[in-house]
Structure 1
């Protein structure tokens, strides 16, 4: 027997577990046509009687389901905190999601999420950029000088994340984690992303570092390049 399609399963899940909720939205890869065998359903529920927001994972109607439960105050706090860290998980789910139940507020909340996403994250200051240039330089030097292959893998991972974040945030674009980080840089600049993937893939396959080093230095160049000498943090003026 085949399991229910994602929308029907989500509707039944909400009707069974949250019968008195004021609104519900289905989000995630199943809606975007990107589902895999291990994909779950992401369901955002709005319940005006709820005291505190929470998140829960469970299996229902033969689907793994992650449910994010909010009242009409808590979601605003999560919108704000997500945007502050430049990783708009909840706004993105709400913006892209399919309304399952609506008491009249869901369209307004979706527009609120869409406005936040369109505005982009807070602009980095020059101090932010200097700090990130220094961190990237530090990790890049570790990468160049290290001779332990196992350590190289972890250093390369850190370097890839820092450089991706740098490109996105200096251009006031949202960041993400895991696959969402790749999707974010690809959406911003596909050519840069293709080069990014190619140079790191070469390193992971062959251990050759030169292409990665050149790519990172080229990315930093418009902002002043590497930064080490003269950088200070927390130093008070005498």
Structure 2
């Protein structure tokens, strides 16, 4: 599919030279830098060019690799840093902080952006206020109750999907951790708590293979326990504003 591949770093340098010759800086990020590349891995390249009016993303194939290019000027990247941090899903800060500099104009700007990204990653997401914890606790409980009572296999599968997402979010955010998407759900969880991650994977793997719910139920109840356990009675959302 991709033909003969060059070495990833050499390929990335040639991509920058060919497709972004006038950029002032470029960073190679992703699985090839972390030593986690697979047969289907691509090259994630973040480009900085002060002639760009706005950021854009582009995908193409060259030098035997699928390329994902993220092009920014020296201010537009900041909105991505901010937005990712607010969502607690630090895709852009992670790429920049862990990435390998491919090109640098010598002004120190690329190093400064990498430092900015590292500080974001080290700080972690904003702490959830008590009101948010209460709301998230209620909706996690609601999904858990649906799961317990459901007898339709198709519905159970998709309720389990929702529980996996909500339980991961609740556990990660109440512990001050970044969230992941797709494969990064497990990577982010495992970075913080390998033992919990193993239990998390086992619980859902068991259910998807056998239909046995008990491990998921126990896992979710364990996640909720430090915050008062499941929540239904007494929960209210928006009532004070409605009666004001």
TM-score computed with the length of structure 1 as normaliser: 0.97
Q: Provide, for residues 82-129 of structure 1, a one-character-per-residue CA deviation record: whole Å limited to 9, x for no partner.
A: 000000100000000000001231111111100010000000000110
The SS at the match of 2:47 is: strand
What corresponds to 1:44 in structure 2? 46
C-alpha root-mean-square deviation of aligned residues, in Å? 1.1
1:2 deviates by 3.7
Supply the distance in 2 between the matched residues of 1:3 and 1:93 (Cα, whole angstroms). 22
What corresponds to 2:195 in structure 1? 191
The runs of at least 4 consecutive aligned structure 1 residues that moved more than 3 Å come to: none
Supply the distance in 1 between the matched residues of 2:53 and 2:4 (Cα, whole angstroms). 37
What corresponds to 2:150 in structure 1? 146
Q: How does 1:95-134 map to 2 (within 5 A)?
A: 95-103=97-105, 104=107, 105-134=109-138
Supply the distance in 1 between the matched residues of 2:33 and 2:219 (Cα, whole angstroms). 35
The SS at the match of 2:46 is: strand
Alignment partner of 1:75 is 2:77: yes
Alignment length, in residue pairs? 238
TM-score computed with the length of structure 2 as normaliser: 0.95
Supply the distance in 2 between the matched residues of 1:207 and 1:167 (Cα, whole angstroms). 24
**Aligned partner (choices 8, 24, 27) of residue 25 of structure 1:** 27
1:219 deviates by 1.3
Supply the distance in 1 between the matched residues of 2:4 and 2:60 (Cα, whole angstroms). 19
Q: Which runs of 5+ in 2 are unaligned?
A: none
Question: Are the equivalent residues in 1 in contact too, given 2:4–2:63 (CA < 8 A)?
Answer: no
The SS at the match of 1:117 is: helix
Supply the distance in 1 between the matched residues of 2:197 and 2:4 (Cα, whole angstroms). 39
Supply the distance in 2 between the matched residues of 1:210 and 1:101 (Cα, whole angstroms). 53
1:16 deviates by 0.6
Supply the distance in 2 between the matched residues of 1:52 and 1:19 (Cα, whole angstroms). 18
The SS at the match of 2:122 is: helix
